[in-house]
């Protein structure tokens, strides 16, 4: 599907979509009085209320020029959020495939600013995502037609800016694909190969296998993968958008557990299949790196993902085991299902040790407890730095990938002390997401850091016009917004 910005209505008129609230309707630019009269008649006859995202289809007599006119309501509230603009765009794509026609879009003044227009375009692209590669009968929806967003004056500058949104959408699609992919296909080794394939976009990709990680002392990460037939991998992805300046890189770290069976602390069978998505944090990082490369972001960014499979086996790690970490701290494994933090412990340490970054942000489907706290609506964030955490919150509001900050505190930190080792990998007595974050904090030195727990948002969010798939791609837009708004 092609989405573009134009400054006038198409010559060949097929479907016209009008996005408007009730009071702005008569003032829509580009519509003649006759057309408006017929539309008003239809609105009256159908008792159309202009509720948010409500649609009214008008089959018009040919004197209107368009054979079909569809109105999308904006509701009472004259202000429209950027996320709502995304959803409007998604709705237009659905109409596009349903009517199988080329669409011109006119919007009312209250959402005709550049940012909203771009987001309508962005949403309309997001809505084309589908994951049907394992269906022998493919879904019939086709997105072969065009969507033209009509803007009076600045269509050329909008088209240029739109490249940014298109790049983000490609990153979101990659993240969704990776998360939707089953673990018999996407195992740590194949995943690393797929990431290698991103070098064609100008990213530098480096892969550390088990032998190399062993030399670095990453026993914590390696312990998680011990029961798996696949080699664990640490993949480093670099985007050097600022070739001349020697600035500290921005660093993103992702949990990539391709399948989390729980290991010897085996999970119950119900919904265990959803643990193919336990690499959602890594997928967000990989998706982000692709977006940054596609849009040639003016920033130096490093993405690091720890890829493992957590399986029970005669060789698997066991409760009671004590492992070393690259940091030198030791961990008593009390539950092999609390494996994400074990992967991140070494990945975070490696990231700060090697890259001395401006900041580190890790993303992980880390705890079931975060789903209890925030459901599938927002991700939980934890931070040692108010300013970075505030920036991420703002990026959340703007991108629509919402985050909410939860506390870190030494009183929770005590809960992970161990009688044998420096710490244990689970805390007793509630606050499971916080004790997990406290654990990670022990592997972060002075560098500003945010941990994002996306266990509730990487998958399973409410379906809507911009996503009908299980995997959401959550985090890509969030991080891209953080980078572009505050660091470019
Ligand atoms: N991968 C899970 C967390 C998870 C749960 C992700 C639900 C997505 C949906 C993680 O590895 C895990 O098993 N965490 C345990 C930790 C516990 C043993 C301390 C949990 O949350 O139950
Ligand atoms: Zn896990
Ligand atoms: Mg687990």
Confirm whether 332 is domain-assigned.
Answer: yes
pLDDT tens digits for range 1-57: 899 999 998 988 899 999 999 888 867 766 777 777 888 889 999 999 999 999 999
Point out the least confidently predicted range of 97-111, 122-136, 172-186, 295-309. 97-111
Tell me, using a 6 A CB cutoff, whether residue 3 lines ligand 1.
Answer: no
Res. 475: pLDDT tops 90: yes
Ligand index nearest the alpha carbon of residue 308: 2
Res. 221: pLDDT tops 90: yes
Confirm whether 161 is domain-assigned.
Answer: no
Q: Which ligand 1 atom is nearest residue 265's CA? A: 18
For 44, the 3-state DSSP assignment is: helix
Boundary of a domain, candidates 125, 152, 179: 152
Ligand index nearest the alpha carbon of residue 365: 1
Please tell me whether residues 202 and 291 are part of one structural domain. yes
Mean pLDDT to the nearest integer, 207-211 = 98
Query: Is the distance from CB of 246 to CB of 318 less than 8 angstroms?
Result: no
- The overall average pLDDT reported for the chain is 95
Q: How many domains are there within the chain?
A: 2
Please tell me whether residues 358 and 482 are part of one structural domain. yes
Q: How far apart are CA 283 and CA 280, in angstroms?
A: 5
Query: Is the distance from CB of 40 to CB of 190 less than 8 angstroms?
Result: no
Please tell me whether residues 208 and 131 are part of one structural domain. no
Tokens of 342: 């074990």
Tell me, using a 6 A CB cutoff, whether residue 453 lines ligand 1.
Answer: no
Q: How far apart are CA 54 and CA 91, in angstroms?
A: 10
Tokens of 458: 């990487």
Closest listed residue to residue 5, CA positions, set 189, 158, 136, 197:
158
pLDDT tens digits for range 379-390: 999 999 999 999
Q: Parallel, antiparallel, or unpaired for β 322-324 and 330-332? A: antiparallel
Res. 64: pLDDT tops 70: no
* Residue to probe by mutation, ligand 1, list 254, 282, 368, most atoms within 8 Å of CB: 368
Boundary of a domain, candidates 84, 117, 152: 152
pTM for the structure as a whole: 0.97
Confirm whether 160 is domain-assigned.
Answer: no
Query: Is the distance from CB of 180 to CB of 470 less than 8 angstroms?
Result: yes
Please tell me whether residues 294 and 384 are part of one structural domain. yes
pLDDT higher for 183 or 41? Answer: 183
Tell me, using a 6 A CB cutoff, whether residue 425 lines ligand 1.
Answer: no
pLDDT tens digits for range 83-100: 999 999 999 999 998 899
Q: How far is the CA of 331 from the centre of ligand 1 (A)?
A: 18
Please tell me whether residues 242 and 208 are part of one structural domain. yes
Please tell me whether residues 395 and 424 are part of one structural domain. yes
Please tell me whether residues 48 and 101 are part of one structural domain. yes
Boundary of a domain, candidates 88, 117, 152: 152
pLDDT higher for 358 or 62? Answer: 358
The helices-and-strands tally (H runs, E runs) of the chain is: 14, 17
Please tell me whether residues 143 and 278 are part of one structural domain. no
Residue showing tokens 């480096």: 206
Q: What does the pLDDT read at residue 362?
A: 99
Res. 62: pLDDT tops 60: no
Please tell me whether residues 55 and 204 are part of one structural domain. no
Query: Is the distance from CB of 294 to CB of 202 less than 8 angstroms?
Result: no
Q: How far apart are CA 411 and CA 415, in angstroms?
A: 7
pLDDT higher for 329 or 22? Answer: 329
Instruction: Answer yes or no: 83 catalytic.
Output: no
Instruction: Answer yes or no: 245 catalytic.
Output: no
From 267, 318, 405, 441, the catalytic residue? 267
Confirm whether 336 is domain-assigned.
Answer: yes
Confirm whether 159 is domain-assigned.
Answer: no
Please tell me whether residues 406 and 477 are part of one structural domain. yes
Tokens of 89: 């765009």
Q: What does the pLDDT read at residue 67?
A: 84
Neighbouring C-alpha atoms within 13 Å toward the C-beta of 30: 21
**What's 118's domain CATH number?**
3.40.220.10
Confirm whether 157 is domain-assigned.
Answer: no
Query: Domain limits at 116?
Result: 2-152
Res. 339: pLDDT tops 70: yes
Tell me, using a 6 A CB cutoff, whether residue 340 lines ligand 1.
Answer: yes
Confirm whether 465 is domain-assigned.
Answer: yes
Tokens of 208: 């550390």
Q: Which residues pair with 318 in a beta bridge?
A: none
Confirm whether 356 is domain-assigned.
Answer: yes
Please tell me whether residues 291 and 318 are part of one structural domain. yes
Please tell me whether residues 206 and 147 are part of one structural domain. no
Q: How far apart are CA 195 and CA 475, in angstroms?
A: 18
């Amino acid at each position: 599907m092609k989405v573009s910005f134009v400054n006038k209505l198409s010559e060949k008129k097929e479907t016209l979509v009008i996005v408007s609230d009730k009071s702005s309707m008569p003032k829509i630019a580009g519509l003649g009085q006759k057309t408006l009269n017929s539309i008003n008649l239809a609105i009256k006859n159908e008792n159309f209320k202009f509720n948010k995202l409500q649609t009214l289809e008008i089959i018009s007599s040919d004197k209107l020029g368009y054979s079909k006119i569809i109105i999308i309501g904006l509701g009472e509230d004259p202000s429209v959020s950027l996320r709502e603009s995304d959803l409007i765009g998604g709705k237009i794509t659905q109409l596009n495939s349903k009517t199988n026609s080329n669409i011109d879009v006119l919007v009312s003044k209250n959402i005709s600013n550049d940012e909203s227009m771009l987001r309508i375009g962005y949403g309309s692209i997001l809505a084309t995502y589908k994951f049907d590669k394992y269906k022998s009968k493919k879904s019939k929806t086709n997105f072969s037609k065009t969507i033209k967003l009509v803007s009076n004056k600045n269509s050329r500058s909008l088209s240029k800016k739109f490249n940014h949104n298109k790049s983000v959408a490609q990153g979101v699609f990659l993240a969704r694909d990776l998360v939707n992919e089953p673990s018999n296909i996407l195992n740590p080794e194949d995943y690393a190969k797929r990431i290698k394939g991103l070098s064609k976009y100008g990213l530098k990709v480096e892969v550390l296998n088990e032998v190399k990680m062993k030399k670095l002392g990453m026993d914590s990460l390696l312990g998680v993968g011990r029961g798996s037939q696949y080699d664990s991998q640490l993949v480093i992805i670099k985007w050097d958008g600022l070739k001349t300046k020697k600035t500290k890189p921005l660093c993103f770290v992702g949990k990539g557990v391709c399948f989390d069976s729980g290991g010897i602390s085996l999970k119950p069978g119900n919904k265990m299949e959803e643990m193919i998505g336990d690499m959602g944090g890594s997928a967000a990082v990989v998706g982000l790196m692709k977006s940054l490369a596609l849009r040639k972001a003016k920033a130096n960014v490093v993405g690091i993902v720890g890829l493992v499979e957590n399986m029970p086996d005669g060789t698997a790690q066991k409760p009671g085991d004590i492992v070393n970490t690259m940091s030198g701290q030791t961990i008593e494994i009390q539950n092999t299902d609390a494996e994400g933090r074990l992967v991140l412990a070494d990945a975070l340490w490696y990231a700060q040790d090697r890259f001395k970054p401006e900041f580190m942000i890790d993303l992980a489907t880390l705890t079931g407890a975060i789903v209890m706290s925030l459901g599938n609506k927002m991700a939980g964030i934890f931070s040692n730095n108010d300013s970075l955490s505030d920036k991420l919150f703002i990026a959340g509001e703007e991108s629509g990938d919402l985050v909410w900050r939860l506390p870190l505190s030494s009183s929770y930190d005590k809960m992970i002390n161990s009688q044998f080792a420096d710490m244990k990998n689970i805390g007793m007595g509630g606050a499971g997401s916080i004790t997990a974050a406290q654990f990670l904090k022990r592997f972060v030195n002075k560098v500003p850091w945010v941990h994002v727990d996306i266990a509730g948002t990487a998958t399973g969010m409410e379906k809507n016009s911009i996503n009908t798939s299980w995997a959401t791609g959550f985090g890509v837009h969030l991080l891209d917004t953080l980078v572009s708004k505050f660091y470019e």
